[in-house]
Structure 1
Amino acid sequence: MRGQKYVLQVAPEDCTGCNLCVEVCPAKDRQNPEIKAINMASRLDNLTAEKDNYDFFLQLPEIDPAQLERIDIRTSQLITPLFEYSGACSGCGETPYIKLLTQLYGDRLLIANATGCSSIYGGNLPTTPYTTNAEGRGPAWANSLFEDNAEFGLGFRLTVDQHRARVLRLLNSLAPQLPEQLVNALQMDDVAPEPRRKQIAELRTLLASFEGEDARQLAADADYLVDKSIWLIGGDGWAYDIGFGGLDHVLSLTENVNVLVLDTQCYSNTGGQQSKATPLGAVTKFGEHGKRKARKDLGVSMMMYGHVYVAQISLGGAA
């Protein structure tokens, strides 16, 4: 990305004024350390000018992720997020992780969302914070109950696999009429999304001249040849407590699903009750006497299966 400049543009009509971006900003004026690269200011004094800046900012071309040498915590922030302007509480600690998820996988992301905070700000109809990129691609999101979200997400995986198997059967049936090199390429696994989409575009161009139901269905459903990233998302009330049985079952099956636990160490959406993720001695709004038992180690429990990879992330943690 040499020869280019980076700008962090605030949406003046959507900023909730939580001040978190200013607090964590490491760039300070050497002559006046109280002045940072981003600072709080009066909305009324800056609204008109910043609206013009933001309108111009939206017209700038998006970064092509394929141009990045690698995607890491720095370069990922150059990718347009497909989760924006949610109705979450000001300074919410959950939404940055979902935003990051959409920057990494957003144009092929399927989300099964457990009821909780993430279902309130994620699906507060008639609006939604999930959006699409310039090509019209974006996350597909659906909300389930506390108790069956993991099974709900497993259904996503099984459904996508069945659709893909059906598309491959249609491809094989039409293979004699298609270029051998293209058919072989489409049958390969682990192909990056953008090269695969170019292959699908070539396939659809060829199928446009074909007659028959198989060709029509293959052209309609060929996008299932692009690998989908399936995520089960919910809070600790879901993953540690009410939905734990289903989550344990799904992760025992070796199916290709991912889980994001938005662990706030209590039931946040219902006001602050203790959960099994609440640490020993911790006080919550409706548990003022303190937690009398240690928190459950969900990661260790899942790692006992041997095939489950567990990682923790804290965007606010010290490096």
Structure 2
Amino acid sequence: PPEAMENAPASLHSLDVKSRDMRGQKYVLQVAPEDCTGCNLCVEVCPAKDRQNPEIKAINMMSRLEHVEEEKINYDFFLNLPEIDRSKLERIDIRTSQLITPLFEYSGACSGCGETPYIKLLTQLYGDRMLIANATGCSSIYGGNLPSTPYTTDANGRGPAWANSLFEDNAEFGLGFRLTVDQHRVRVLRLLDQFADKIPAELLTALKSDATPEVRREQVAALRQQLNDVAEAHELLRDADALVEKSIWLIGGDGWAYDIGFGGLDHVLSLTENVNILVLDTQCYSNTGGQASKATPLGAVTKFGEHGKRKARKDLGVSMMMYGHVYVAQISLGAQL
């Protein structure tokens, strides 16, 4: 909102939002001065150019030494700007999703990594209720480069829960997340029934009905308020958040999904359990230097496969679609550039 910009540093630039559903709001694009890797990709793909001098874009590379102190001040102010309330967005699409605070930031991935934007987007969509089973590979290295981690929390302290498994059992590991979450929910619903006489009928019915995560959290808060003075209900109050539906994600590269962990992946997808799988398909073993995988296309040359791939690429998507209940989508953020 404009009032949040009243005490902004003079060097912090903002624009009026042009979309009709956000009239009167301000838009700020701020780079983290001490975390930018200088890969230059944002400048390369920026479509906005100066008509008089096409070499000048809406965002340009500048000397770090000349701007870093000023941008530190801008960034500190930027971090304290209020986050957008996603419940007030008319819809979540490619534009509005980028207004939601990502819960994946400043990873240790290689400069210009093509994998991290997908994970960042996932956390913007589901991060406050997300459980991630991460296969070994690039995403497990920059995702859990201890003692630091790029996964963070929102203003309410909610964020992704992340764990790393082996190449060969990550799908089964993630399936365990789903089964565990389901069992927790069944147990909490059983506890709800035990205290049905102390819960308003309308609230009890609502807690057992479908609801968005935001609405469910409000219902859980109402439940805690209702049973706050009931000593016997401490277990229910402690675990009531299990009623908020979790988003389970199994994440890994093509070395996991196409090769080493394929058996587990195939088994998990055959079970019709409610899990999501993100395959970060770089068409080779990126983490170990560039060996060919079954995702490598026919004839493709990799760093450690210079003779060229002699077999066709496995069509993982079609294989999984044969089950009939598996939805498959293939995306590439750079495909239309």
Normalising TM by the smaller chain, what interval? over 0.9
Per-residue CA shift, 1:80-135, capped at 9, x if unaligned? Answer: 00000000000000000000000000000000000000000000100000000000
CA distance in 1, matches of 2:231, 2:103: 37
- Contact between 2:198 and 2:227, CA under 8 Å: does it hold in 1? no
**What corresponds to 1:195 in structure 2?**
215
Any runs of at least 4 consecutive aligned residues in structure 1 with deviations exceeding 3 A, and if so which? none
Kindly report which structure 2 residues correspond to 1:1-319, keeping only aligned pairs within 5 A, or say none: 1-189=22-210, 191-212=211-232, 215-318=233-336
Amino acid in the other structure paired with 1:225: L
Shift of 1:7: 1.5
Shift of 1:35: 1.1
Amino acid in the other structure paired with 1:31: Q
Structure 1 unaligned blocks of 5 or more = none
CA distance in 2, matches of 1:139, 1:300: 30
Amino acid in the other structure paired with 1:210: V
- Contact between 2:49 and 2:58, CA under 8 Å: does it hold in 1? yes
Give secondary structure in 1 for the equivalent of 2:27: coil
CA distance in 2, matches of 1:10, 1:47: 10
Mean Cα deviation higher: 25-34 or 291-300: 25-34
Give secondary structure in 2 for the equivalent of 1:110: strand
Shift of 1:9: 0.4
Give secondary structure in 1 for the equivalent of 2:224: helix
- Contact between 2:48 and 2:58, CA under 8 Å: does it hold in 1? yes
CA distance in 1, matches of 2:68, 2:275: 43
Shift of 1:8: 1.1
Give secondary structure in 2 for the equivalent of 1:147: coil
Per-residue CA shift, 1:245-279, capped at 9, x if unaligned? Answer: 00000000000000000000000000000000000
Structure 2 unaligned blocks of 5 or more = 1-21
Number of matched pairs: 316
- Contact between 2:39 and 2:111, CA under 8 Å: does it hold in 1? yes
CA distance in 2, matches of 1:256, 1:14: 36
Give secondary structure in 1 for the equivalent of 2:162: strand
CA distance in 1, matches of 2:239, 2:213: 15
**What corresponds to 2:4 in structure 1?**
none
Amino acid in the other structure paired with 1:315: L
Per-residue CA shift, 1:209-242, capped at 9, x if unaligned? Answer: 1121xx1111000101111000000000000000
Amino acid in the other structure paired with 1:262: L
Per-residue CA shift, 1:47-99, capped at 9, x if unaligned? Answer: 01111110110010001111111001111000000000000000000000000
CA RMSD of aligned residues (A): 0.7
State TM-score, norm by structure 1. 0.98
